[in-house]
Chain A
Amino acid sequence: RKEVEQDPGPFNVPEGATVAFNCTYSNSASQSFFWYRQDCRKEPKLLMSVYSSGNEDGRFTAQLNRASQYISLLIRDSKLSDSATYLCVVNKLVFGAGTILRVKS
């Protein structure tokens, strides 16, 4: 089993839609969790950290479920500019393979 797993997608959604991704991790002792965004042929950029109590940043909400060992990212009111690959990262250094999001008008 991979240490971090994500559904590769692509998720094709219309503008304005709400979309959610999950990411599962295998190491129950993992302490830190992040969501990064990577545009094609570019470096990853930190989107948000994921805190135990869940956290929100504008249209983006991140949740952590320790019992089931997954983190989630919810994007509300999707914009065309949200189209990218979303990478979940565990313990700062272990990357998932990414989930592709395509938002279409």
Chain B
Amino acid sequence: GAVVSQHPSWVICKSGTSVKIECRSLDFQATTMFWYRQFPKQSLMLMATSNEGSKATYEQGVEKDKFLINHASLTLSTLTVTSAHPEDSSFYICSANHAGTGRNEQYFGPGTRLTVT
């Protein structure tokens, strides 16, 4: 149990276009999901906390108008990178909070590798 999927697993897009990444909790409901970005040989950096039915909470330095987050249901959160630029190329990982286990554990999606040319 506690499976989180992401789609797409990798994407290449041209500079200036927008890319949407989906994060789904497949066998549990997640009122809270998290979006991270990881550059090569660096740690995961929390970008934002996605709350079902309300606005996302963004970390300092993350532009909310550039990284649009929508958490419309208990099993789906989406991250849209708008007007992507080469510096947005990174590994984007989501995680979902599984409160049902009683231990409030996070489960990660497999990640989406974005390359902007």
Contact = CB atoms under 8 A, between A and B. Distances in A.
**Binding partners A and B:** yes
Contacts of B36: 95
Contact of A49 (B34, B45, B103, B107): B103
A96 B43 contact: yes
What is the interface residue range for chain B against chain A? 20 to 34
Contact of B110 (A42, A46, A92): A42
Contacts of A97: 41-43
B46 interface: yes
Interface residues of A, number: 17
Contact of B108 (A45, A49, A92): A45
A12 to B, nearest CB: 17
Contacts of B111: 41-43
A92 B95 CA distance: 11
Contacts of A42: 110-111
B106 A46 contact: yes
Interface of A: 4, 8, 41-46, 49, 87, 92-98
